[in-house]
């Protein structure tokens, strides 16, 4: 059974063990002390809720920690690439310690995750399968992150090419892969069949897509503990509401495109306020919210292993 208190203790112990003789330890402890919802390790436990074997339970614990290490590796790198100076209301790792050191920490976490699973007390074949999924989905995340930059380049050259389908293809890597990783890993530990694994992979991918829409909405109409509301606009990100708005707007298209392509340091609060108002006015917010809610409701109705996560995120979306 997953409890946040127990997981935080396991995560802290893993960090101390993995980086005991490394000068990176204080940086790692700083970053992980910033907190988080720990949704992804919770997913692994939900997918393997009925494990009885003690060795498999211990392996699940190590795998869940590994997933969180991978997730945080991507967060550290994201903050650098996006120029985000804050994470959860405090200075991001690169801002606190330096960009080169943050890159080192992010890189190290990918390999630390593999090392942590390597010492899990399970059969070698299962261990290799878990590591295979970690590697596969880690690559998908990085590939999706790369696609995001190509998507912005396409928006610069041919704005009409930035469609819902192009956005979803990017998100299926960048975000969904870190939902597929814990769910499939948990299912493997629970002894799921190939058909069951395929179903879990598809549905957890949809959950990741819904989560990204929620995250996009939260940046514009909620709070993510960043330096200001609408940071995605300032960064020039093609979020789901922006992609939806592109086909709904007419004369405002030129200014929205100008704002998306504008350097972050030149984007003013009034620019962001204008963009948010236009996204609301043209119905992009309402459509994004509806699409997100429908996906979460579908997954909540499917099974308990998706309902707990979907229901908690639904509460957030409905308030936006």
pLDDT per position as a tens digit, 267-312: 999 999 999 999 999 999 999 999 999 999 999 999 889 999 999 9
Kindly state the average pLDDT of the residues 107-111.
98
Separation of alpha carbons 14 and 19, rounded Å = 8
Kindly state the average pLDDT of the residues 64-88.
95
What architecture (CATH level 2) is domain 4-319? Orthogonal Bundle (1.10)
**Whole-number Cα distances in Å, 291 to 116, 176, 237, 241, 263:** 38, 16, 19, 11, 30
Separation of alpha carbons 280 and 244, rounded Å = 11
pLDDT given at position 226: 64
Separation of alpha carbons 68 and 36, rounded Å = 10
pLDDT given at position 160: 84
pTM of the model: 0.94
Separation of alpha carbons 73 and 31, rounded Å = 10
223: pLDDT strictly greater than 80:
no
Find out whether 260 and 233 touch, Cβ atoms under 8 Å.
yes
- Helices in 19-98 by DSSP H: which ranges? 25-33, 39-47, 54-82, 93-97
Mean pLDDT of the chain: 94
Categorize the per-residue pLDDT at 125 as very low, low, confident or very high, splitting at 50, 70 and 90. Answer: very high
Residue whose token pair is 């990017």: 170
Separation of alpha carbons 261 and 15, rounded Å = 39
pLDDT given at position 132: 96
Separation of alpha carbons 209 and 97, rounded Å = 32
**Residue whose C-alpha is closest to residue 306's, from 182, 204, 177:** 204
Indicate the DSSP class of residue 121. S
pLDDT given at position 1: 83
Find out whether 97 and 31 touch, Cβ atoms under 8 Å.
no
Burial tier of 210 (Cβ tally within 10 Å: 0-12, 13-18, 19+): buried
pLDDT given at position 43: 97
pLDDT given at position 249: 87
Percent of the chain with pLDDT over 70: 99
| Positions of E strands within the chain | 86-87, 90-91
Kindly state the average pLDDT of the residues 224-232.
75
**Residue whose C-alpha is closest to residue 238's, from 137, 313, 180, 160:** 160
pLDDT given at position 9: 97
87: pLDDT strictly greater than 70:
yes
Categorize the per-residue pLDDT at 225 as very low, low, confident or very high, splitting at 50, 70 and 90. Answer: low
224: pLDDT strictly greater than 80:
no
79: pLDDT strictly greater than 90:
yes
Find out whether 289 and 302 touch, Cβ atoms under 8 Å.
no
Kindly state the average pLDDT of the residues 1-26.
96
Which residue would you say has higher pLDDT here, 32 or 236? 32
pLDDT given at position 208: 97
Burial tier of 52 (Cβ tally within 10 Å: 0-12, 13-18, 19+): exposed
**Whole-number Cα distances in Å, 160 to 163, 243, 247:** 7, 10, 9
């Amino acid at each position: 059974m997953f409890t946040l208190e127990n997981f935080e203790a396991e995560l802290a112990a893993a960090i101390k063990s993995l980086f005991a003789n490394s000068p990176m330890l204080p940086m790692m402890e700083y970053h992980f002390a910033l907190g988080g919802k720990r949704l992804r390790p919770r997913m692994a436990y939900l997918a393997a809720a009925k494990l009885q074997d003690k060795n498999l339970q211990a392996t699940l614990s190590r795998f869940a920690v590994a997933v969180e290490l991978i997730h945080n590796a991507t967060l550290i790198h994201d903050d650098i690439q996006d120029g985000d100076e804050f994470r959860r209301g405090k200075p991001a790792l690169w801002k606190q310690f330096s960009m080169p050191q943050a890159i080192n920490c992010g890189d190290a976490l990918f390999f630390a995750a593999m090392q942590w699973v390597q010492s899990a007390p399970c059969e070698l074949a299962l261990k290799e399968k878990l590591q295979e999924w970690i590697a596969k989905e880690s690559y998908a995340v990085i590939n999706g992150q790369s696609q995001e930059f190509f998507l912005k380049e396409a928006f610069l050259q041919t704005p009409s090419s930035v469609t819902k389908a192009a956005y979803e293809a990017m998100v299926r890597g960048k975000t969904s892969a870190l939902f597929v990783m814990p769910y499939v890993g948990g299912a493997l530990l629970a002894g799921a069949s190939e058909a069951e694994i395929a179903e879990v992979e598809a549905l957890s991918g949809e959950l990741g897509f819904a989560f990204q829409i929620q995250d996009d909405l939260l940046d514009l109409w909620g709070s993510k503990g960043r330096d200001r509301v609408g940071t995605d606009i300032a960064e020039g990100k093609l979020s789901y509401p922006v992609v939806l708005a592109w086909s709904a707007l007419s004369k405002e298209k030129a200014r929205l495109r100008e704002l998306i392509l504008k350097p972050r340091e030149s984007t003013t609060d009034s620019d962001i306020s204008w963009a948010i108002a236009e996204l609301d006015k043209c119905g992009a917010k309402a459509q994004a919210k509806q699409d997100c809610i429908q996906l979460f409701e579908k997954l909540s109705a499917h099974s308990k292993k998706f309902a707990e996560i979907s229901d908690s995120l639904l509460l957030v979306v409905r308030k936006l």
